[in-house]
Amino acid sequence: MMNVLIIFGASGDLTSRKIIPALFQLFSEKKLPKPFAVIGISRTRFTSAEWRKQLKASIQKTMKDPDFSRDWDQFESIIHYFSGDVKNPEMFFELNCFIKEIQKENGEKNAEIVYYLAVAPILYTQIIQNFEKTGLAAKDFPDKYGIILEKPFGMDRQSAEDLNRQLHSVFQENQIFRIDHYLGKETVNNIFALRFANTIFEPLWNRDYIEHIQITVNESLPVGRRGPFYESTGILRDMFQNHLLQLLSITAMEPPAQFDAKFVRDEKVKVLRSIRKSKYEIEKNMVYGQYVKYREEQGVHPDSLVPTFIALRLFIDNWRWKGVPFYLRSGKSMSCQTSQILIQYKKPPHWIFENEIQRKREKSSSDPEGNSLLIQIQPSEGIRLNFLSKVPGTIMLFQNSELTFSFGNYGKNKLPEAYQRLLLDVFSGDPSLFARNDEVEAAWDIIDPFQNYIDSAIRRNISIPLYESGSWGPSASDLWMQKQGRTWLNLCPIIDRPEKNGSY
């Protein structure tokens, strides 16, 4: 049986920058199922040869493989292009004939078809309805069809429910792959290994030992050409409902009975449903701001009050995490691009090393900070454990020391790109790293109150704090943490560049 991936939005940036490069790498490594075909669909008038030429020029700029041309010449033979308007049902009948022609060329009578909707979410409903009208998908054949959707999955709880209902009219839930590329990253997958394959971490992974947790996903680039998208969507929908809550759920979930898609996703949903709803305490649990030149970006209203930075404090009301704050933050035009999870452990319950000599030497009698575990997701992937050690000498002084593990420096295999891992999972029918419908809806239950507060503030024309590009957000964010007796880890990626040790 032939395997066919049909990409709606073939002329878009996502296709040329992420999807096709991932497929090409999988093809080069002989990991794609055989026979395999890619069909790109867009309104742009291209022939297959013209699309292949454009893709090659785009991808070649970033590929350093000396065998690129040889592998590409073989790869492009499986790439096809079909021009059409997804709003036109007739196009889907024509597409069906096109698929059959490709099957015939490969000597195949049947095909397993996966549709990739790399288009604006506003087009999802139209495409799904046309699948149903033309019979190009059917939930009665779960082994024949699948569909991949990019975020955001709806704009709120109600629209997410509507989208899921539309999807389920044509596909079964196990045919639906709601993709979040963060879940394909090596470090995110390694959280499972770190927690559930090592007895030195999991026993301490609870409210008895952890003081708080920070999850940061910052971008150094400004909004740029995405101004209209940001104005209508905002950072909560763009980053928090998916990326950050996914990272939180994996960090906080209970051990599943086994490493299986259903059991893993069941535990993630339990976490999301346990998060305390913040309907009446929004101001206590959120800080937001906007970088100074945001209003000058293309497509942004000159008086826009849309945040480009948000920090949230969430609590998980269950046995493991009761009382432990989870801090989530994300911003545009920040000091650097970094995604990281900081596990901040509690201080020792009693500090036994205090003495007069140390007080004089340190000019401080305060206890040291607790240990911390940093899980860095991007740009370089790794783990760093911070602990105290004695400074060599005759006096009992301490210094902050660290153990660092970088994924790029270990193992024979090159770290796969997130889309490579996720696409392979789709082709093998493994939904473990994809959001389930109840997971999406539970995430919106958490985000909706915060988004409603932001929308209300914009309607009432309430001023928004500003921050300079290249900073760590508005000063109110640091003050907010200080009032709680905590500080943000405001350090750019440090796995490859460890911070300079300091002594207490």
- Inter-residue contact 174 to 142 (CB < 8 Å): yes
Q: What is the identity of the amino acid at 127?
A: I
- Residues forming a β-bridge with 165: none
Following DSSP, what letter does each residue of 461-489 receive, concatenated?
A: T----EE-TTBSS-HHHHHHHHHTT----
- Inter-residue contact 470 to 334 (CB < 8 Å): yes
What whole-number distance in Å separates Cα of residue 329 and Cα of residue 331?
7
- Kindly report the CA angle at 352 between 347 and 358, in degrees rounded to 5? 100
**Do the bridges between strand 338-345 and strand 325-331 make them parallel or antiparallel, or are there none, so unpaired?**
unpaired
Q: How far is CA 350 from the centre of its chain?
A: 39
Name the helix (H) or strand (E) containing 455.
Answer: helix 437-459
- Inter-residue contact 65 to 462 (CB < 8 Å): no
Question: Which one, of 24, 20, 73, lies nearest residue 49 by Cα?
Answer: 73
What tokens does 425 get?
Answer: 């999972």
- Kindly report the CA angle at 501 between 497 and 504, in degrees rounded to 5? 155
Q: Bin 367: left if φ > 0, else alpha if -120 < ψ < 50, else beta.
A: beta
Span between the terminal Cα atoms of the chain, in Å: 65
Catalytic residue among 181, 243, 301, 350: 243
| DSSP strands (E only) in 33-169 | 36-42, 79-83, 111-117, 145-150
Q: For residue 350, count CB atoms less than 10 angstroms from its CB and return exposed for 0-12, middle for 13-18, buried for 19 or more.
A: exposed
Question: Which one, of 147, 50, 39, lies nearest residue 94 by Cα?
Answer: 39
Q: How far is CA 409 from the centre of its chain?
A: 23
Give Cα separations from 88 to 5, 123, 198, 245 (angstroms). 20, 12, 54, 36
What whole-number distance in Å separates Cα of residue 163 and Cα of residue 106?
35
What whole-number distance in Å separates Cα of residue 176 and Cα of residue 153?
12
243 given a catalytic annotation: yes
In which residue are the tokens 């270990």 written? 410
Residues known to be catalytic: 243
